[in-house]
Amino acid sequence: MRKLLPLLALLPFAACAPKTDNATSDTLGADSARVVNVYTHRHYETDKALFKRFTEQTGIAVNVIMADDDELLSRLEAEGQNSPADIIITADAGRLGLARQRGYLKPVKSAVLESAIPAHLRDPEGHWFGFTMRARVFAYDKSKVKPEELRSYADITKPRFKGKVLVRPADNVYNQSLVAAMVAHDGTEKAQAWCAGVVANMARAPKGSDTDQLLAIGEGQGEVAIANSYYIGKLLTSDDPARQKAKNAIGVVFPDLNGHGTHVNISGGGVAKYAKHEAEAVQLLEFFVSDEAQQAFAEGNMEFPVKAGIPAAAVLQGFGAFTPDTLDLSQLGLHNADAVKVLEAAGWK
Ligand SMILES: [Fe+2]
């Protein structure tokens, strides 16, 4: 008779919790059955359902530690070669690049991953692989702004938008990666000039999440916000009464970055340096680029599939076609430190 496998273990990792707890070490230490231990920044129902499907299909149990990405990196640092992590997943190529630079990831070869994922959305040497894409776009107040006024990222630095721009704080990785892409393309001076222009036009001191910027448009606190595409997709399909004002107010444009297209980022993962279940880890990464998983990411979480032939969610298609920047996203990690300096020098809090 087939041995019963442990149920999917979801083990939230509280910010101030000690490094391990009994449940965690018991579960993650088990080596007898086929398991894969996942450290992830993602906290979505879609992912939980996919882990469950993976276990049903392969018999491999998935143990999950969830934490924010900087906590995951600190944890890996503290654990060193005793880390039980087999896979590290974050929602930003910049953080995956940092994980690589700090030696937390190991390169793997997989024909499945290489054929499914465009080259610029994965590490050139196989340390990490993007399995969903998101665009960093503008949401604007349709009653006050014409979309033609927002063709490029530079447009929000014009006097027209003085006191009208809503952004989240500089410690946010999505903004850091947007600025890192600017640095990679055009150097630190231009990137800093753009940041200073945004700071000069802010509607209020940066605070909150991407979704908070969208809600602020609904409250008339600003006319244009920078946000990731999936947050807008979720808002526009939400029945939550608290979101209706923003839902009715918002239009979307894909800004151009100096002729390079719209800045995109990935959610992705790689195999941990000291993985004890490397084969299972690669199998899970390959499952993430299966048609089934790509459709689930697209429909369930409003992310753009990385694999050709899988359609985006209808609401995202409704934003219109766009040209994604094809910058090699390993550049985001390489220029993260520059981006942080540039944001700070520009006075972006
Ligand atoms: Fe996010």
Q: What is the pLDDT of residue 203?
A: 98
Q: What is the pLDDT of residue 278?
A: 97
Q: How far is the CA of 82 from the centre of ligand 1 (A)?
A: 29
Q: How far is the CA of 3 from the centre of ligand 1 (A)?
A: 38
Residue 210 falls inside a structural domain: yes
Q: How far is the CA of 237 from the centre of ligand 1 (A)?
A: 17
Strand-pairing partners, residue 9, are 63
Are residues 116 and 171 both part of a single domain? no
Residue 339 falls inside a structural domain: yes
3-state DSSP of 201-240: HECCCCCCCHHHHHHHHHCCCCCEEEEEHHHHHHHHCCCC
Are residues 140 and 60 both part of a single domain? no
Q: How far is the CA of 29 from the centre of ligand 1 (A)?
A: 30
Q: Are strands 87-90 and 264-272 parallel, antiparallel or unpaired?
A: antiparallel
Q: Can you tell me the distance from the alpha carbon of 306 to that of 290, in angstroms, rounded to the nearest whole number?
A: 11
Overall size of the chain counted in residues:
349
Are residues 15 and 79 both part of a single domain? yes
Q: What is the pLDDT of residue 32?
A: 56
- 140: domain CATH number? 3.40.190.10
pTM: predicted TM-score of the whole model, two decimal places: 0.89
Q: How far is the CA of 4 from the centre of ligand 1 (A)?
A: 35
Q: How far is the CA of 69 from the centre of ligand 1 (A)?
A: 11
Q: Can you tell me the distance from the alpha carbon of 130 to that of 90, in angstroms, rounded to the nearest whole number?
A: 10
Are residues 171 and 123 both part of a single domain? no
Angular region, 220: left φ>0, alpha ψ -120 to 50, beta rest: left
Are residues 80 and 172 both part of a single domain? no
Residue 3 falls inside a structural domain: no
* 3-class secondary structure, 44: coil
Are residues 114 and 249 both part of a single domain? no
Domain of 17, in residue numbers = 9-133+266-312
Q: What is the pLDDT of residue 164?
A: 98
Q: Can you tell me the distance from the alpha carbon of 272 to that of 248, in angstroms, rounded to the nearest whole number?
A: 44
Q: How far is the CA of 170 from the centre of ligand 1 (A)?
A: 15
For residues 127, 133, 138, 139, the Cα torsion angle rounded to the nearest 10 degrees is -130
Are residues 258 and 286 both part of a single domain? no
* 3-class secondary structure, 268: strand
Q: How far is the CA of 131 from the centre of ligand 1 (A)?
A: 14
Q: What is the pLDDT of residue 284?
A: 98
Q: How far is the CA of 172 from the centre of ligand 1 (A)?
A: 10
At 233-283, the pLDDT tens digits run 999 999 999 999 999 999 999 999 999 999 999 999 999 999 999 999 999
Are residues 45 and 193 both part of a single domain? no
Residue 259: how many other CB atoms lie within 10 Å: 10
Are residues 89 and 146 both part of a single domain? no
* 3-class secondary structure, 292: helix
Q: How far is the CA of 23 from the centre of ligand 1 (A)?
A: 28
At 172-185, the pLDDT tens digits run 999 999 999 999 99
Residue appearing with tokens 């499952």: 287
Q: How far is the CA of 225 from the centre of ligand 1 (A)?
A: 15
Consecutive H or E run containing 181: helix 173-201
Q: How far is the CA of 268 from the centre of ligand 1 (A)?
A: 12
Q: How far is the CA of 167 from the centre of ligand 1 (A)?
A: 14
DSSP-assigned letter for residue 258: T
Q: What is the pLDDT of residue 149?
A: 98
Q: How far is the CA of 34 from the centre of ligand 1 (A)?
A: 31
Average pLDDT, rounded, for the chain:
92
Are residues 230 and 150 both part of a single domain? yes
Are residues 228 and 326 both part of a single domain? yes
Number of domains in the chain: 2
Q: Can you tell me the distance from the alpha carbon of 203 to that of 174, in angstroms, rounded to the nearest whole number?
A: 19
Q: Can you tell me the distance from the alpha carbon of 296 to that of 288, in angstroms, rounded to the nearest whole number?
A: 9
Helices (H), ranges, 219-277 = 229-236, 244-249
pLDDT, one tens digit for every residue, the chain (349 residues): 333 333 334 444 333 332 332 223 345 544 557 999 999 999 899 999 999 999 999 999 999 999 988 899 999 999 999 999 999 999 999 999 999 999 999 999 999 999 999 999 999 999 999 999 999 999 999 999 999 999 999 999 999 999 999 999 999 999 999 999 999 999 999 999 999 999 999 999 999 999 999 999 999 999 999 999 999 999 999 999 999 999 999 999 999 999 999 999 999 999 999 999 999 999 999 999 999 999 999 999 999 999 999 999 999 999 999 999 999 999 999 999 999 999 999 999 9
Q: How far is the CA of 174 from the centre of ligand 1 (A)?
A: 8
Q: How far is the CA of 91 from the centre of ligand 1 (A)?
A: 7
Q: Can you tell me the distance from the alpha carbon of 26 to that of 17, in angstroms, rounded to the nearest whole number?
A: 16
Q: How far is the CA of 77 from the centre of ligand 1 (A)?
A: 24
Q: Can you tell me the distance from the alpha carbon of 229 to that of 46, in angstroms, rounded to the nearest whole number?
A: 17
Residue 82 falls inside a structural domain: yes
Residue 279 falls inside a structural domain: yes
